C-alpha cells in the first residue's frame, strides 16, 4: 500500500507545478507584447514603439482635382493674378494652401520654391510664402518660409523672414498656412504651429514691427514667382497645389484641426482658388491667368488586383509604372506616405528598422537602389536617408 504522505507530496508537487505554469503563462502574455524581435536579427529584442499619435498621421484631403506644375524651367507653369482686386495685405492676413511635391531635389539645388508670391513694388507690400532649403544637423531639407517686406529691395528695404523647423517631404500632401496677427508672424503645417528656426538667417521671435503699405497694384502668383514682368524659373514648384485661400484675418493662433474638405468663402475671404477645374476666384473678385501648361489632374486611375481599396497607398499597390510618384501623381485619396515602410499608417522605430535592414547602414551607397527608401529623392541610398527618417520620427510629435 502506497504511503499516504508520499501520495500527498506528489499531489502538492503537481499543484505547485500547475500553478507555476499558469503564472508563467500570464507573465509571458502580459510582457511579451512589450518586446519585439528586430527585423533580420533573430534573438535581439527591443521595446515596442509607443503607438503613434495623430500628430504624425498624414492628412488625406477630400478633393478630386488639383493644379499640377512642373517647375522644370521649361515652359514653366504658374497661376498669375495680374490685377488683383480686394487683396490687401497691409493688415492681418492668412495665406494657406494644400501642396504636394514630386521632388525636393529641385529645391535643394535651386534654393527656393514659391507657393504664394507678391513682389514688393511701388507702394505694395511684398509677401512670399515659400519652401527653402535649410542645412541643419547635416540634413538639407526644405522647410516653410514666410517673408514680408514694406518696401522694394532696391529701396530702403524693411522686412522680416521666418523659417519653420519641420521637414517637407516628397509625395505627401501638406496643408500649409502663414499668418500675420498684428506684428506677430507664424507658420503652420497640417494644423501644427511651427517652432521657428533660429540659425542666423532669421529672427526666432517672428515679430515684424514695420508698416505694410498695400495699394494692391502688384501681381500675385501661385505656384511660382512673377517679378518685373517675368517668371522667375528657379522659383516654380514641381508638384501640385490646391485650395489656395487668402484671408484678411489671422485665422489661426494655436494648433488646429485641418479640414480635409474644400474651403468655403466667408466675410474674411479675400480670394479663394479651388484649382479643381479652373483658376476662378470663388469670391468673384479675381481670376487667375495660366502661364504655361497647368494641368488639372483628377484621381481616375486603372487599378490592379493588388490594390485593396482601403484608401491607403492603393496607387502604389497597383504597381502602375516603375515610378509610383509619377505614375500616380494626383491620386489624392490614395496617399503614398513615403516614410511608412511597413504600411501601418504611422512612422515609428519599426520603419527605422526596415530601412536599416534593407541595406547595411555602413554601405548604403553599395546597396541595390530602391526608390522607396530614397527619402530625399537624390537618386542614391546613403546615410542622409537614414538620418532623415530619424529626424522625421523625432520631430513629428514635438
The Cβ of residue 351 has, within 10 Å, a number of other Cβ atoms equal to 21
135-187: pLDDT as tens digits: 554 555 667 788 776 655 445 556 778 888 777 777 677 889 989 998 888 89
- The answer to whether 164 and 141 are in contact (CB under 8 A) is no
Taking only the tens place, the pLDDT of each residue in 347-368 is: 777 877 777 776 665 655 556 6
Pairing mode of beta strands 269-273, 239-247:
antiparallel
Cell numbers placing 144: 516653410
**Confidence (pTM):** 0.65
CA distance 288 to 83: 9
Range 385-391 average pLDDT: 74
Provide CB contacts within 8 A for 156, sequence distance 6+: none
Q: Which of 14-23, 216-225, 240-249, 301-310 has the lowest mean pLDDT?
A: 301-310
Q: How far is CA 156 from CA 201, 238, 270, in A?
A: 19, 33, 29
Q: Which long-range contacts (CB under 8 A, 24 or more apart) does 127-131 make?
A: 127/89, 127/93, 127/95, 128/225, 129/95, 129/97, 129/176, 129/178, 130/225, 130/235, 131/101, 131/107, 131/168
Per-residue pLDDT band at 122 (split at 50, 70, 90): low
Please give the average per-residue pLDDT across 184-206, as a whole number.
Answer: 73
231 forms beta bridges with 226
Q: Give the pLDDT confidence score for residue 37 in this predicted structure.
A: 26
Q: Hey, what domains does the chain have and what are their CATH numbers?
A: 59-297 (2.60.120.200), 341-398 (1.10.1330)
pLDDT at residue 305, as a whole number: 38
244, pLDDT greater than 70: yes
Amino acid at each position: 500500500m502506497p504511503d499516504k504522505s508520499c501520495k500527498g507530496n506528489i499531489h502538492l508537487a503537481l499543484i505547485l507545478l500547475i500553478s507555476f505554469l499558469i503564472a508563467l503563462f500570464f507573465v509571458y502574455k502580459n510582457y511579451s507584447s512589450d518586446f519585439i524581435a528586430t527585423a533580420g536579427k533573430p534573438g535581439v529584442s527591443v521595446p515596442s514603439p509607443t503607438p503613434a499619435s495623430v500628430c504624425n498621421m498624414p492628412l488625406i484631403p477630400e478633393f478630386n482635382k488639383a493644379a499640377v506644375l512642373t517647375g522644370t524651367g521649361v515652359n514653366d507653369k504658374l497661376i498669375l493674378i495680374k490685377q488683383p482686386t480686394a487683396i490687401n495685405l497691409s493688415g492681418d492676413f492668412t495665406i494657406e494652401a494644400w501642396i504636394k511635391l514630386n521632388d525636393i531635389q529641385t529645391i535643394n539645388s535651386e534654393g527656393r520654391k514659391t507657393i504664394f508670391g507678391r513682389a514688393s513694388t511701388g507702394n505694395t507690400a511684398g509677401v512670399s510664402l515659400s519652401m527653402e532649403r535649410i542645412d541643419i544637423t547635416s540634413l538639407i531639407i526644405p522647410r516653410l518660409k514666410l517673408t514680408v517686406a514694406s518696401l522694394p529691395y532696391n529701396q530702403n528695404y524693411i522686412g522680416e523672414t521666418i523659417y519653420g523647423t519641420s521637414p517637407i517631404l516628397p509625395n505627401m500632401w501638406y496643408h500649409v498656412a502663414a499668418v500675420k496677427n498684428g506684428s506677430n508672424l507664424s507658420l503652420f503645417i497640417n494644423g501644427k504651429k511651427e517652432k521657428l528656426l533660429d540659425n542666423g538667417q532669421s529672427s526666432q521671435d517672428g515679430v515684424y514691427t514695420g508698416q505694410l503699405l498695400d495699394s494692391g497694384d502688384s501681381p500675385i502668383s501661385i505656384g511660382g514667382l512673377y517679378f518685373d514682368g517675368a517668371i522667375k524659373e528657379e522659383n516654380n514648384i514641381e508638384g501640385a497645389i490646391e485650395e489656395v485661400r487668402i484671408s484678411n484675418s489671422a485665422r489661426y493662433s494655436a494648433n488646429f484641426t485641418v479640414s480635409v474638405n474644400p474651403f468655403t468663402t466667408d466675410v474674411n475671404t479675400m480670394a479663394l482658388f479651388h484649382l479643381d477645374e479652373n483658376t476662378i476666384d470663388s469670391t468673384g473678385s479675381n481670376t487667375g491667368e495660366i502661364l504655361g501648361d497647368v494641368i488639372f489632374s483628377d484621381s481616375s486611375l486603372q487599378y490592379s488586383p493588388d490594390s485593396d481599396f482601403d484608401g491607403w497607398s492603393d496607387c502604389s499597390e497597383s504597381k502602375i509604372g516603375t515610378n509610383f510618384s509619377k505614375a500616380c501623381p494626383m491620386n489624392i485619396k490614395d496617399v503614398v506616405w513615403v516614410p511608412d515602410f511597413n504600411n501601418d499608417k504611422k512612422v515609428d522605430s519599426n520603419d527605422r528598422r526596415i530601412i536599416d535592414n534593407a541595406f547595411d547602414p555602413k554601405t548604403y551607397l553599395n546597396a541595390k537602389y530602391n526608390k522607396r527608401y530614397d527619402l530625399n529623392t537624390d537618386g542614391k541610398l546613403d546615410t542622409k536617408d537614414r538620418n532623415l527618417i530619424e529626424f522625421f520620427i523625432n520631430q513629428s510629435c514635438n
